[in-house]
Amino acid sequence: YDCGVLYFERCDSEVVFGVMQTIYLANRCHFRPEVPLFTKFLAPGLSFAEEPTQKFTSQESFGMNRCQIVANGLMQAWQNGNNTPEERLNAIRQQFSQLGIEWERPYLNGE
């Protein structure tokens, strides 16, 4: 889904969000409605996520990072014989929790 990615420092977020709002309003007809999984929906075709601070490999995108967390949870559940959907979901939640990432806000890094 990523047609473009904008990197900026957290301290600049207020200014960047203001500029992006202006740009988006003038160009929203050019945005596709989808946004990447695990990102925070801001508007159709526009979302937000922090660059992961805890990466599994040196060159890893946000999406690959979050998918790796899910894969680690599924692998852990399988290795422990926990194969019900609920057990798998709990294992995934544990993986996010171990990294300090809130399950309800996966677009943010852990504290």
The SS3 of residue 34 is: coil
Q: What is the mean pLDDT of residues 48-74?
A: 94
- pLDDT for residue 1: 57
pLDDT bracket for residue 7 (50, 70, 90): confident
- Quick one: 85 exposed, middle or buried, by C-beta within 10 A (0-12, 13-18, 19+)? exposed
Tell me which residue has tokens 């526009």: 46
pTM, rounded to two decimals: 0.86
Amino acid in the structure at residue 87: E
Using one digit for the tens of pLDDT, what is the confidence trace for 14-33?
Answer: 999 999 999 999 999 999 99
- What tens digit of pLDDT does each residue of 28-47 get? 999 999 999 999 999 999 99
Angle 96-2-104 (CA atoms, 0-180°, nearest 5)?
A: 25
